[in-house]
Structure 1
């Protein structure tokens, strides 16, 4: 599998070649279609298996005492999460751009994660500007990005900690950053964390940060990581101030 740096190199090489651009676009479309079809073909029998497992448990409650029953249900749940993540990764570059109020966006994120934050006794601090220029992005995809980053931040904090969400304008771009004082990410892991199916978490699918980067890149943005083991991490996302979308 190519690294993102290799993919970006290919994109630069074909940027001035219209025929190459059309070929790359066709290859990408075929890739998306194939991945969607594979996910669909797996999801259908998985749904039937899940229904059968529930029916068996309803008709034979004693099966709950079977040594591997909980593991079967856990594996089925993992497969559902994996398929959802594959779908999110596959569709990460499909955007519906509209105007976003950064303050409302930040407050909505905090409200969404409030139960999780309260359960872990972790405060989420918002650092926001008083005013912002017009900002256009896909609110659903962007929320997906920050729920992923904020959830990872929560998971990284083992004892008392805090998380900060910052949204500022910087050099005619929008800077959105998530900072935590959790366990940090070892240097040897930092180079691979955005790669699909690479995970350093016990129960991760390895697609969370790959989805994050895919959505950010689709917006024409960049993502950067600063992390120190034992001190915490900060993910910085720079997004262009896109013009208002045109409707024809």
Structure 2
């Protein structure tokens, strides 16, 4: 029976989708067991728990699996009342948080991957696309947040902070691999100050993977993508 009460997170160390669930659990101070999955040789448990997508993250609580990072985080927020609320109670604000979270997940993360996997003119187009989307987010956060900028500390971390952190927390690694500066303090003062506040949180610093390990992984992804694009 005790085994059924366990919280288990199946993940992969560098996945931003996994890191956001891990951060949510830590922010809410929920004890959990972490299981690292090999996505090349997926475990029987992963295939059992997520037969539809066969991907991480999967949260197992009371023996029941929950899949998809945003679904998992809402489940965490609704199930455990301790710690900060990850989504606001107000329906309109809650809808806004969902909207911008999805924008960052679907648009900005994809833009970052496009930058990583291209070079030359294609990379220039990807960088232009990234800047346009960052401008939209900068404007959106000015309008959404009281005082025109997000405020975050260890006691008021929310879903937007978590998603933003997992999309851009490794920005230095991306910039080192790409040789391109895309999150500039002068161009995006609101986003830059927000990111500095988020990555300085103790819970974020404790869970951040080593910079060099991230750089090596991103270099591998980039080189593999460029080789594949150049192949006849």
TM-score (norm 2): 0.31
Q: Which of the pair has the greater relative contact order for Cα pairs under 8 Å at 6+ separation?
A: 2
Q: Which protein has the larger Cα radius of gyration, Structure 1 or Structure 2?
A: 1
